[in-house]
Each structure stands twice: as C-alpha cells, then as structure tokens.
Amino acid sequence: MKEWDEKESANGMEMDVEARLVRELRQLDREVPDEGSPGLSELEGLVRTVQARQRQALLRDLLLFWGVAALVLGVVFCAAAFALVPYLAAQLLVTVGAAAACALKLASGRKAAAHEQE
Amino acid sequence: MTDSSKLAADISMGSREALARKGSPEALASLLHEHYPFLKKYLIKLTLSLPHAEDLAQETAIRAIEGIRSYRSEAKFTTWLLQIATHAFLDDRRKQDRRSRWLRAYRDSERLRLQQACPGLSIELLEALEALSVEHRAAVLLKHYYGYSYEEIGTMSGVSPGTAKSRVHHGLARLRKELDAHEGMG
C-alpha cells in the first residue's frame, strides 16, 4: 500500500512538472513577438542567394571532375601511343592483381561463413 | 504584393511544398516565412537565448534551402524544419562545449535577459532547463510541449526510439529534481 502511494505521489509530481513546463512555455510563446522574423522579400533573396551558391559549387565540382578525368585519359593515351609494350604490361598486371584480390576476398568470405555455420 | 505573398494566397500548402521541392524560390520563401515564428520560438526554448535562437533560425533556414530536395511530403513541413533545427542546435552546442568557459557566463546572462523579456517564465524553470543536457532538453520539449512520438523524436535527434524514450524519462526526472532543489532553497 505504501509502495502504491509512493508511486502515485511520484506520478503526481511528474504531472506537476509537465503542467508547469507547458504552462510557462505557452506563456513564452505568447510573450515573444513575431515581428523580429525576416520579411518575405528577405527570405526570397536568401533562397535565391543560397541556390545560386549551390549551383556554383555544383558547376565547380563538375568542372573539377571533368578536368581530372581528362588528365587521366590524356596520360593513358600518351602511354599507349608512345610506350605500347610497357603500357600493355601494366594493364595485364593491374588485371591480374584485381582478379587475385577478388579471389582472395571471395575465399575469406566463404571461410567466415563456414566458421559461422560451425 | 510580392510574388511569394501572391503564391501563399493562391495555392494550398501541399502544392507549395511540391513547388518548393522542385526549386521554386517563391514557394520556398513563402513556406519559410509562414513557419519562421514557430521555428524561432522552438529555438528560444532550446537555447534559452533570444540572439542565439535568431542565429540558429537563420542557420536552419539556410540548411532547409540547401536540402529542400531531400524533404519528403510524408512528414509535415514543420516536423522537417524542427528536425533540421534540432541538428543545428546539437552541432552548435558540441562546437561550443569545446570552446572556453566565458560562453557559459554569456549563456547565464542571456537567460536573465530572456526572463526579463518574458516575465511569465520563471527563472527557476529556465535554470532547471539549462541544467539538462542539450539532448535531454530537446527530447523533453519535443515530447511534452510539441507532442511528438518517440519515433519522431528519434528521427529528429538521430537516435533510436528507445534512446529518445530514455532521454525524455531521464530529462523529466532531472527537471523535477532541479525544480525541487530550487523550491527547497526558496
């Protein structure tokens, strides 16, 4: 019975805190004026400025991507044109290396799955 | 009458949200204008400072403009805006905590100014709210003042619903303890 009373009193106190919180914060909502907010035209200006900045950043990233891609392709074409044998050897090495890495990864995955089943 | 105010008068909320998602500056400005006071008042309760709430409201508006394409109409625009504001507040406070102690003194003076601006708000409640961690304060406000569910609070704060529930529970318990301590002193 005592335990039940304590529980009831704790619940009652929690309700009091909630009620006080809500009451005073509602008062705050009423007392804070809305006038300080920016006007429609100011917000429209802000939206246009942020959108323009985003477009510029996107364009810069795109140009950077194309620049790096053109550089890599240029190097590859130069290598293929002026030193065909080393170029082909490098291609072969990269392909074999990638295949070996894939095979190793696959094998380790299977091993882990078998270990889990055990 | 500006383009945005004409737009607000002419079309419904849902169509404005759709237009804003497509990148219409007028529709987005009109939505932000309509919700700005609500957003600012939420941030005042979180930060307990008028100028800080103003700064964060602007930061939230910029983040909302940048991320409008990620807004999905399943959630209310206000819920989405409060989510951005909560993240902006938590990010800002984490940065602030790494800085010097004078910021704490500044926060104390801002709290006093807020109480002077809103006499209906007691200094005890403001101090009790300030004593909560920022995560607990946000969770208690979103649950008990704005009436959001634990799932929504979790989404807004970037945690699971269980964590949100625990934050609300512990936040409210701490708030009660702080208020009791103030009453004991009184």
Partner residue facing B65 (CB), from A18, A30, A51: A51
- In this prediction, residue B170 carries a pLDDT of 95
Contacts of A22 in chain B (CB under 8 A): 144-145
Going from the C-alpha of B36 to that of each of A60, B32, B49, B124, the distances in angstroms are: 32, 6, 16, 28
Q: Which residues, other chains included, contact B152 with Cβ-Cβ below 8 Å and sequence gap of 6+?
A: B79, B142
Query: pLDDT tens digits, residue range A2-24?
Result: 555 555 555 666 678 888 889 99
Closest-CA distance, B64 to chain A, in angstroms, reads 10
Structure tokens of B85? 């504001």
- In this prediction, residue A84 carries a pLDDT of 86
Q: Mutating which of B33, B60, B140, B175 best tests the A interface, going by the most A Cβ atoms within 10 A? A: B33
Q: Do domains B12-100 and B122-186 have the same CATH topology?
A: no
- In this prediction, residue B46 carries a pLDDT of 92
The pTM for the full model equals 0.74
* Confidence grade of residue B6 (pLDDT, cut at 50, 70, 90): low
| Domains of chain A, residue spans | 1-32, 39-82, 83-118
CA pair distance B4, B30, nearest whole angstrom: 5
- Average pLDDT, stretch A109-113? 84
Contacts of B5 in chain A (CB under 8 A): 40
Number of inter-chain CB pairs under 8 A, A vs B? 95
- In this prediction, residue B11 carries a pLDDT of 63
Q: A107-112 long-range contacts, Cβ below 8 Å, gap at least 24?
A: none
Closest-CA distance, B97 to chain A, in angstroms, reads 26
* Confidence grade of residue B4 (pLDDT, cut at 50, 70, 90): low
| Half-sphere exposure for A53 (CA within 13 Å, toward CB) | 10
CA pair distance B44, B36, nearest whole angstrom: 12
CA pair distance B4, B10, nearest whole angstrom: 10
Query: pLDDT tens digits, residue range B34-62?
Result: 999 999 999 999 999 888 999 999 999 99
Query: At the top level of CATH, which class does the domain B122-186 belong to?
Result: mainly alpha
* Confidence grade of residue B114 (pLDDT, cut at 50, 70, 90): confident
Query: pLDDT tens digits, residue range B61-80?
Result: 999 999 998 888 778 899 99
Q: What is the CATH number of domain B12-100?
A: 1.10.1740.10
- In this prediction, residue B105 carries a pLDDT of 72
DSSP class of residue B1? -
- State yes or no: pLDDT of B184 exceeds 80: no
- In this prediction, residue B103 carries a pLDDT of 72
Query: Chain B residue with minimal CA distance to A12?
Result: B176
Contacts of B2 in chain A (CB under 8 A): 40-41, 44
Of B18, B59, B16, residue with least CA distance to B36: B59
Using CB atoms within 10 A of its CB, is residue B139 exposed (0-12), middle (13-18) or buried (19+)? buried
- In this prediction, residue B168 carries a pLDDT of 94
Q: Do A14 and B176 touch (CB under 8 A)?
A: yes
- In this prediction, residue B141 carries a pLDDT of 94
* Confidence grade of residue B96 (pLDDT, cut at 50, 70, 90): confident
| Domains of chain B, residue spans | 12-100, 122-186
Query: pLDDT tens digits, residue range B120-171?
Result: 788 888 889 989 999 999 999 999 999 999 999 999 999 999 999 999 999 9
Query: Chain A residue with minimal CA distance to B179?
Result: A17
- In this prediction, residue A3 carries a pLDDT of 53
